Amino acid sequence: MKGSADQTDRISFSRRNILSGFLFGLGMIAFLDEAVFHQLLNWHHFYDKSTTNVGLISDGLFHAFSWFATIGGLFLFADLRRRHAVRLTRWWGGVLLGSGSFQLYDGIIQHKIMRIHQIRYVENVLMYDIIWNLIAIVLIIAGTIVLFTLSAKERRRD
Amino acid sequence: MNEAHFAHSMGFPFEYIFIFLFIGLIVIYVWAGLSTSARKHLKTWPLYRYVLWILGVFSAAAAVVGPLAARAHSDFAVHMVGHLLLGMLAPLLFVLAAPMTLLLRTVSVAAARRISKLLRSWPVRIVHHPIVASFLNIGGLWVLYTTNLYEAMGENFLLHVLVHLHVFLAGYVFTASMIYIDPIAHRFSFIFRSIAFIFALAGHQILSKYIYAYPPNGVARTEAEAGGMIMYYGGDAIDLMIIFILCYQWFRETRPRSSIAVNQSG
């Protein structure tokens, strides 16, 4: 009885570590995007005339969600800490996966399909798009590798 | 455009009425807090709640009387600062000051029973539903800034007062439906409130970019752009506080009870 309860605890905590990292990673990259590219560099526009109405809705929803995710992810982390259930590597795997997913969604759906805004308003925006999305893919692959090696290790231990 | 007419109808008596109202709100709250704290069977009403209440009154007052309110009639960006103070910051501060809890401990037991019966009644419960409250709050703003209402409000004093009253009350009910400080008859789960809040926040942000792109009737483009950005980033700042409080309440409510404590109580 005791053993199986521990087992389910462990699985649910392991999922929570990933979820917490994922949400925080997503929120953090959204925040960096806002702070660095909108405010500091002024590469992104607050609004540009090519934005569709669907783009406006998607932008608002995603912004609201990422705002919540940053704080919610950190509170989930605090909850894991007080339960002594933090698995840092797993959490970082979640962070990589979350930030990569946001970056890829932003780069392909929001920038290109919904035309919310472009990365930069220059002649040769294609280069920026390619680098932006490549970074996203690298983040996703890195996160996947971290999480897969971890589960493989645990299976061997059991 | 109708500046002179407006200033006239907004003349001295009204300003004084509002100032008396705001002073009255502070006096009543402080009196209730102090007098109930003196009763032996009650705990002392915490100091920070007085501070929150007084800050809330100042925040609402700044949007209704004084230089900011006067400039808001001619400048949309200033109007938007007033909107943030009256519709978001003041409601949050008022909710955190727990006025219903204070009211219930001030009045007699019989009156407190009647009030809590009123709070449990179906009209209050419907208005207090997170989704209904979101529509009243954000939906109201959409109506205000996408129809002729904003322009009409500048010409009709009564309409002006009603819109401001709605913005404040809807903001209060919305905040109270998301973070529970006062007693609540029907509680919704944290997940439900979080999802409702994300959609409401999204509605607010979409509207602020919409205003930036399509200025409300009677508003110049540059003012609409400044106003839209103030609404967007100001809304973010205040919503950040609400999200933090909501998550913190979840964090406290789901704290692990150690098995020793359970054994002792059981």
Show residues of chain A in contact with B240, CB under 8 Å. 67, 71
Question: Which of B205, B209, B212 has its CB closest to that of A64?
Answer: B205
Residue B210 binned pLDDT confidence (cut-offs 50, 70, 90): very high
Mean pLDDT calculated for residue range B211-237? 92
Torsion-angle region of B218 (φ positive above 0: left; ψ -120 to 50: alpha; else: beta) = left
Q: CA B216 to CA B40: how far, in whole Å?
A: 56
Show residues of chain B in contact with A49, CB under 8 Å. 213
Residue A63 lies in a domain: yes
Cα of B144 to nearest chain A Cα, Å: 19
Show residues of chain B in contact with A46, CB under 8 Å. 209, 212, 228-229, 232
The total of structural domains in chain A comes to: 1
Higher pLDDT, A12 or B45: B45
pLDDT at A56: 85
Q: Is residue A23 scored above 90 in pLDDT? A: yes
Residue A5 binned pLDDT confidence (cut-offs 50, 70, 90): low
Cα of B202 to nearest chain A Cα, Å: 5
Higher pLDDT, B13 or B142: B142
Q: Is B48 part of the contact surface with chain A (CB cutoff 8 Å)? A: no
Cα of B136 to nearest chain A Cα, Å: 19
For A70-118, how does the pLDDT look when each residue is reduced to its tens digit (9 = 90+)? 999 999 999 999 999 998 999 999 999 999 999 898 888 888 777 778 7
pLDDT at A12: 81
Residue A22 binned pLDDT confidence (cut-offs 50, 70, 90): very high
Return the residue in A75, A76, A81, A86 with the most chain B beta carbons within 10 A, the one to mutate for interface testing. Answer: A75
Which of B81, B57, B58 lies closest to B69, judged by CA? B81
Question: Which of B210, B240, B254 has its CB closest to that of A79?
Answer: B254
Whether residues B209 and A59 touch (CB distance < 8 A) is answered with yes
What are all long-range contacts of B70-76, with beta carbons under 8 Å and residues at least 24 apart? B73/B3, B73/B6, B73/B154, B74/B3, B75/B223, B76/B215, B76/B216, B76/B219, B76/B220, B76/B223, B76/B224, B76/B226, B76/B227
Give the number of A-B residue pairs with CB atoms closer than 8 Å.
Answer: 67
Residue B99 binned pLDDT confidence (cut-offs 50, 70, 90): very high
Residue B4 binned pLDDT confidence (cut-offs 50, 70, 90): very low
Whether residues B247 and A72 touch (CB distance < 8 A) is answered with yes
Residue B263 binned pLDDT confidence (cut-offs 50, 70, 90): very low
Residue A7 lies in a domain: no
Residue A10 lies in a domain: no
pLDDT at B260: 52
Residue A158 lies in a domain: no
For B115-168, how does the pLDDT look when each residue is reduced to its tens digit (9 = 90+)? 999 999 999 999 999 999 999 999 999 999 999 999 888 888 899 999 999 999
Residue A122 lies in a domain: yes
Q: CA B200 to CA B134: how far, in whole Å?
A: 6
**For residue A34, what is the nearest residue in chain B, using CA coordinates?**
B233
Domain span at A53: 15-149
DSSP helix, strand, coil percent of chain B (3-state; round to 5): 80, 0, 20
Mean pLDDT calculated for residue range A63-69? 92
The 8-class DSSP code of residue A47 comes to -
Three-point CA angle B52, B12, B21, nearest 5°: 30
Higher pLDDT, A120 or B210: B210
Cα of A71 to nearest chain B Cα, Å: 7
DSSP helix, strand, coil percent of chain A (3-state; round to 5): 80, 0, 20
**For residue A48, what is the nearest residue in chain B, using CA coordinates?**
B213
Whether residues A71 and B198 touch (CB distance < 8 A) is answered with no
Q: Is B205 part of the contact surface with chain A (CB cutoff 8 Å)? A: yes
| Residue A36 near residue A82, CB atoms below 8 Å | no
What percent of chain B clears pLDDT 70, i.e. is strictly above it? 92
**Helical residues (DSSP H) of B65-156, grouped into ranges:** 67-72, 76-84, 90-96, 99-106, 109-120, 122-127, 130-134, 140-146, 149-153
pLDDT at B10: 52
pLDDT at B6: 52
pLDDT at A9: 75
**Considering chain B, what is the average pLDDT of its residues?**
90
**For residue B249, what is the nearest residue in chain A, using CA coordinates?**
A75
Burial class (CB in 10 A: 0-12, 13-18, 19+), B263: exposed
pLDDT at B8: 47
Q: What is the pTM of this model?
A: 0.88
Q: Is residue B2 scored above 50 in pLDDT? A: no
Residue A118 lies in a domain: yes
pLDDT at B143: 93
For B243-253, how does the pLDDT look when each residue is reduced to its tens digit (9 = 90+)? 999 999 999 99
Residue A2 lies in a domain: no
Residue B265 binned pLDDT confidence (cut-offs 50, 70, 90): very low
The 8-class DSSP code of residue B43 comes to P
Q: Is B202 part of the contact surface with chain A (CB cutoff 8 Å)? A: yes
Mean pLDDT calculated for residue range A116-136? 83
Could you give the ipTM of this predicted complex?
Answer: 0.85
Mean pLDDT calculated for residue range B69-77? 89
pLDDT at A91: 94
Show residues of chain B in contact with A67, CB under 8 Å. 201, 236, 239-240, 243
pLDDT at B82: 95
Burial class (CB in 10 A: 0-12, 13-18, 19+), B253: exposed
Which of A49-63, B51-65, B66-80, B139-153 has the lowest average pLDDT? A49-63
Whether residues B206 and A60 touch (CB distance < 8 A) is answered with yes
Whether residues B201 and A67 touch (CB distance < 8 A) is answered with yes
Whether residues B198 and A68 touch (CB distance < 8 A) is answered with yes
